[in-house]
Amino acid sequence: MTLPSSSSVVTVGAGLFADALRAQAVDVHEVAWHPPADESDARALARVSADPRRATANAEAAARMLATGARLVDVRPAGEVLGLGREDFLHAGPPIDWARASGPMRGALLGAVLLEGLADDAGAAEALLASGSGYTLDPCHHHRAVGPMAGVVTASMWVFELEDPATGARAACTLNEGLGKVLRYGAYGPEVLDRLRWMSAVLGPALQSAVRRAGGVDVTAIIAQMLQMGDEGHNRNRAGTSLFLRAVVPDLVESGLPASDVAAVVRFVNSNDHFFLNLTMPACKLSCDAARGLPGSTVVTAMARNGTDFGLQVSGTGDRWFTAPAEVPDGLYLGAYGPDDANPDIGDSAITETGGIGGFALAAAPAIVAFVGGTVDDALGTTRRMYEITLAENPAYQIPVLGFRGTPTAIDVTRVLRTGVLPQITTGIAGRVAGTGQVGAGLVLPPQACFSAALSALAESVPGLP
Amino acid sequence: MTLPSSSSVVTVGAGLFADALRAQAVDVHEVAWHPPADESDARALARVSADPRRATANAEAAARMLATGARLVDVRPAGEVLGLGREDFLHAGPPIDWARASGPMRGALLGAVLLEGLADDAGAAEALLASGSGYTLDPCHHHRAVGPMAGVVTASMWVFELEDPATGARAACTLNEGLGKVLRYGAYGPEVLDRLRWMSAVLGPALQSAVRRAGGVDVTAIIAQMLQMGDEGHNRNRAGTSLFLRAVVPDLVESGLPASDVAAVVRFVNSNDHFFLNLTMPACKLSCDAARGLPGSTVVTAMARNGTDFGLQVSGTGDRWFTAPAEVPDGLYLGAYGPDDANPDIGDSAITETGGIGGFALAAAPAIVAFVGGTVDDALGTTRRMYEITLAENPAYQIPVLGFRGTPTAIDVTRVLRTGVLPQITTGIAGRVAGTGQVGAGLVLPPQACFSAALSALAESVPGLP
């Protein structure tokens, strides 16, 4: 082929052709486009598509997700709710050990050891953790729990306990600590531990009194409302936090606690518009757990990151994790921090996207672009794109600006690989050095490799095929 | 002109031509289109456009509106704040007397007479009011106050007192009573009066303690936030009400009041998502009042309805009212109520649109269409249309879905008449029979005649022209 010297060439897909043209000094415009699947994915897709169980199993998975409600029924210590001893630590994401743990995960674990009194200082705490013995370390997801960012949960921390009224299934999540230097972002200084102690001594018991007096709080109803009030339930929770306060304050006032404690509790929640995130997360966990373990289903039941690996779980493959290195989010940074300060993606909070809100409901929260970056059109486009990779629309969670369309729910691994559209996650960004805290917030995608690995496992599980 | 028998004719504008064709059995399709101005308007427009003061006066009016902040500085009895005696009654809209008052206005006045103890029963109250003596009746707007719906204010009712921090100017509005059978919608039964007495005995003093302890509440900041949380500040105030509660609850809890009173106050506000309307209204009143009385300015400073007449005030014509019969809103009805039960448009709440929110910020509140009717596209289109008749965009009040564009602010009478675009007002609908209460909510337009009358007066005021 001979090109006239004035040609420009538009190339799509494999960069090799573009590189070859550039080497010949041809003006090349590469168009961003991802092939829906590589050859191995294509073979697995064909096999999974032929699985006779798939359609029914996926319909059942989506139906169960939509049918799940979430009610906050109690607030109790994690030790009691999750059966943790002082030396048992839970963490966000797929399984990891100290050796592979990132800075913020290490920082949070150091704080946890100090909080539970297993060591007197950071040096001793680090020695204990590095020894690999004298404690257990397990994903929250293995205990019907979820934790934002590092997601470290210990016995003395209090947790929200949510229940699906239809099935009695439960899920738990810690109470949100606030912003800046906090344990979940890997900070573990004295002010972090003092705050955690106050949360266990005052905040948890106060919320327990209020929630019990109120006879529980309908978290599903608040999520439905917050989506009509500019929140997406992951990185914007201002309306959710406001509505939660409205729901508990009257009973909190009448709980018999000293007015100074009641006021301190309200001021603490008031100072942190992300407080309600720790309720959207377990609500979505309940919904996703309802879809677990359906043979043949290609529906995603968990996306979670430990700061080193991104992990995926799929209904048809049960509790197996498919992992790949976590990406660094793209976002806006606080103060003088920049991308070099950022740890890779971390936290169980992508359960919100797995449950159909968060990044999937970005169109409901156009104001969020001031916090995570991008434009309002991007926000609207993101939700529209998520309908391409999901099986259902949640009639309980409507997005007014899209004509009250339900949020895109039940991510289908085969749709992700066919379209090349990856789930959009909104996220906080932790400093990569232990002790730093939050450095920003932004947008991140899962590694496609997790989806390919899950698809391959699903393909192997198809019965009666050679 | 001869038309072939198979013709249809499309007509625009004056109906006379269409009527003449119809009389000749021609198939006529009339297209809804309003000419920007009739001949008299056109002459006045030309004259006002030549006013050498206009550009500067309008720039000054808009600048003053945008520069006005609103801080809730106190909560006190109306008698104290507005200098009202027991027999002094304020009402919504332009001036009116008992003889011309609509059902809901009469109902609210009957309740006011009973509340203030000027009569023992409704019959005696009606006799007093019909006598025309022994009491005064004056628009709220004449006393730096505003009132939603019937807007009746009496000495014993407590009011929010707002201040513009820059100028010290003040505006007042009663506390919102809640939904259904309430005085402002013309109900005056014992439960209405009991609630008003509780509001004066408990709610008002409790909010006074909280607001004073808190050192005031920044209402402008809450309005800015609510517009990013799905409220437009007239018929949707859920976020505003939530943020207001967050602002006052800690100090309310620490006020030393009995926990049962504090809980009752929070539950009362909680039960009524319109509570914050009575704060957006005086905030907008402050803003509009700042633009009053600038010779040559064609900026609207008040739109208000008394249930019989719609009234308009314009900066360049000072405190003069331009009135025309109020329209019946088009909307959604509660329960078994329908359009036949509806009173014409009523209330000072159109001060929100005059101030650039409410119907002008409809794009910020797509979820409102479930309450007032219409579609989400209508809501977005309405705000876009309002930019055609306003002079400024308020940088403090941004609409995320429009790319954070400021709300359309400072209605220009000449733009209204040039474009034929009337200001869009969202509104509650009162039952036309006294005592009924609210029957629905919807959308309404001002009569164009008010704008024509104002324009004519502005034209007469232009100096140095024949």
A287 in any annotated domain: no
Instruction: Compute the C-alpha angle A382/A385/A389, nearest 5°.
Output: 130
Name the minimum distance, in Å, from the CA of B46 to any CA of chain A.
Answer: 41
Q: Are residues A84 and A70 in the same domain?
A: yes
pLDDT grade for A464, boundaries at 50, 70 and 90: confident
Q: Which of A242, A275, A380 to mutate to test the interface with B (most CBs of B within 10 A)?
A: A242
Look at residues B92, B61, B95, B94 and name the one whose alpha carbon lies nearest to residue B288. B61
Q: Which of A281, A313, A343 is the endpoint of a domain? A: A281
- Specify if A405 maps to a domain: yes
Q: Can you tell me the distance from the alpha carbon of A39 to that of A459, in angstroms, rounded to the nearest whole number?
A: 14
pLDDT higher than 70, residue A275: yes
Token output for B19: 């009527």
Distance between A128 CA and the closest CA of chain B, angstroms: 42
Question: What is the pLDDT confidence band of residue A3, given thresholds at 50, 70 and 90?
Answer: very low
Question: Among all residues of chain B, which has the CA nearest to that of A375?
Answer: B403
**Contacts with B373 from chain A: Cβ below 8 Å:** none
Of all residues in chain A, the one with the smallest CA distance to B268 is A250
Domain presence at residue B286: no
- Of B266, B139, B395, B170, nearest to A214 (Cα)? B266
In a domain, B213, yes or no: yes
Given this model, what pLDDT does residue A189 score?
Answer: 96
> pLDDT above 70 covers what percent of chain A?
92
Q: Do B56 and B112 reside in the same domain of the chain?
A: no
Residue of A382, A401, A404, A405 to mutate, testing the B interface (most B Cβ within 10 Å of its Cβ): A401
Segment among A3-7, A95-99, A172-176 with least mean pLDDT: A3-7
Is-contact A141 A82, C-beta < 8 A? no
Rounded-to-integer distance, Cα B424 and Cα B65, Å? 19
Question: Taking the CA atoms of chain B, what radius of gyration do you get in angstroms?
Answer: 23
pLDDT digits (tens, 9 = 90+) for B413-455: 999 999 999 999 999 999 999 999 999 999 999 999 999 999 9
Pairing state between β A145-146 and A170-174: parallel
Chain A residues whose beta carbon lies within 8 Å of the beta carbon of residue B263: 250-251, 253-254
Of A258, A281, A304, the one marking the end of a domain is: A281
Q: Judge if A340 and A368 occupy the same domain.
A: yes
Residues A353 and A434 in one domain: yes
- Please name the member of A246, A270, A401 whose beta carbon is closest to the beta carbon of B401: A401
Give the span between the Cα atoms of A361 and A406, in whole angstroms: 9
Cβ of B376 and A400 within 8 Å? yes
pLDDT of residue A388: 98
Task: Give chain A's domain count.
Answer: 3
Chain A residues near residue B370 by CB distance under 8 angstroms? 404
Residues A275 and A356 in one domain: no
Nearest CA in chain B to A252: B263
| CA–CA distance, B160 with B76 (Å, rounded to integer) | 7
B401: chain A residues, CB-CB within 8 Å: 366, 376, 401
Question: In the structure encoding, which two tokens stand for residue B173, read together?
Answer: 């509005």
Q: Which two tokens stand for residue A177?
A: 């600590």
3-state secondary structure B258-316: CHHHHHHHHHHHHCCCCCCHHHHHHHHHHHHHHCCCCCCCCEEEEEEEECCEEEEEEHH
Residues 6+ apart with CB under 8 A from B68: B164, B166, B167, B169, B286, B287, B290
Mean pLDDT per 10-residue section of chain B, whose length is 466 residues:
45 48 50 61 95 97 98 98 98 98 97 98 98 97 98 98 97 95 95 98 98 98 98 97 98 96 97 97 98 98 98 98 96 93 97 98 93 88 97 98 97 97 95 92 95 97 80
Indicate the residue type of B116: E
CA dihedral (A337, A342, A345, A346) in degrees, to 10, reads -80
Q: Which residues, including other chains, have CB under 8 Å from residue B186's CB and lie 6 or more apart?
A: B103, B104, B105, B106, B107, B108, B149, B150, B343, B430, B431, B433, B434, B435, B436, B437
Which among A260, A367, A401 has CB closest to B228?
A367
Fill in the DSSP letter of residue B207.
H
A242 → closest Cβ in B246, B253, B403: B246
Query: Which residues of chain B does A228 touch, with a Cβ-Cβ cutoff of 8 Å?
Result: 230, 367
Give the per-residue pLDDT at B465.
65
Residue A347 and residue A277 in one domain: no
Check whether residue B313 and residue B225 sit in a common domain.
no
Using 50, 70 and 90 to split pLDDT, how confident is the model at A371?
Answer: confident
In whole angstroms, give the CA distance from residue B169 to residue B189. 36
State whether residue B8 is helix, strand or coil. strand
How far apart CA B176 and CA B163 sit, in angstroms, is: 19
Specify if A228 maps to a domain. Answer: yes
Q: Do B403 and A367 touch (CB under 8 A)?
A: no
**CATH code: domain of residue B402:** 3.90.1700.10
Please indicate, yes or no, whether residues B198 and B253 belong to a single structural domain of this protein.
yes
The arithmetic mean of pLDDT across residues A189-205, rounded, is 98
Q: Which helix (H) or strand (E) holds A333?
A: strand A330-333
Domain-embedded: residue A328? yes
pLDDT greater than 60 at residue A338 = yes
Question: Does one domain contain both A258 and A150?
Answer: yes
Q: Is residue B287 part of a domain?
A: no
Query: B274: closest CA among B187, B347, B378, B381?
Result: B347
Range of the domain at B96: 68-281
Q: Which residues from B are below 8 Å from A245, CB to CB?
A: 242, 245-246, 249
Select from B209, B237, B245, B253 the residue whose CB has the most chain A CBs within 10 Å, as the one to mutate to test that interface: B253
What pLDDT is attached to residue B370?
A: 82
Same domain, A159 and A275: yes
Which residue does chain A place closest to B210, by CA atoms? A263
Asked which of A139-148, A176-185, A204-213, B210-219 is least confident by mean pLDDT, the reply is: A176-185
Most B CBs within 10 A among A202, A209, A222, A228, hence the mutation to make, goes to A228
A8: buried, middle or exposed (CB in 10 Å: 19+, 13-18, 0-12)? exposed
Q: Which of B259, B281, B303 is the last residue of a domain?
A: B281
Instruction: Tell me if A363 is assigned to some domain.
Output: yes
Q: What is the pLDDT of residues A131-166, one digit of tens each?
A: 999 999 999 999 999 999 999 999 999 999 999 999
**Model pLDDT for residues A24-65, shown as the tens digit of each residue:** 555 555 444 455 558 999 999 999 999 999 999 999 999 999
Residue A210 token pair: 């209020």
pTM above 0.95, yes or no: no
Q: What is the CATH number of the domain that holds A256?
A: 3.90.1710.10
Residue A176 sits in the same domain as residue A268: yes
Chain A residues at the B interface, defined by Cβ less than 8 Å, are: 225, 228-231, 238-239, 242-243, 245-246, 249-251, 253-254, 256, 259-260, 262-263, 266-267, 270, 366-367, 369-370, 375-376, 400-404
Nearest by CB: B400 against A263, A266, A366: A366
Residues A296 and A274 both lie in one domain: no
- Give the residue among A94, A284, A258, A295 at the shortest CA–CA distance from A173: A284
For residue A266, give the nearest of B228, B249, B366 by CB distance: B249
Please enumerate residues of B whose Cβ is less than 8 A from a Cβ of A: 225, 228-231, 238-239, 242-243, 245-246, 249-251, 253-254, 256, 259-260, 262-263, 266-267, 270, 366-367, 369-370, 375-376, 400-404
Q: Do B263 and A254 touch (CB under 8 A)?
A: yes
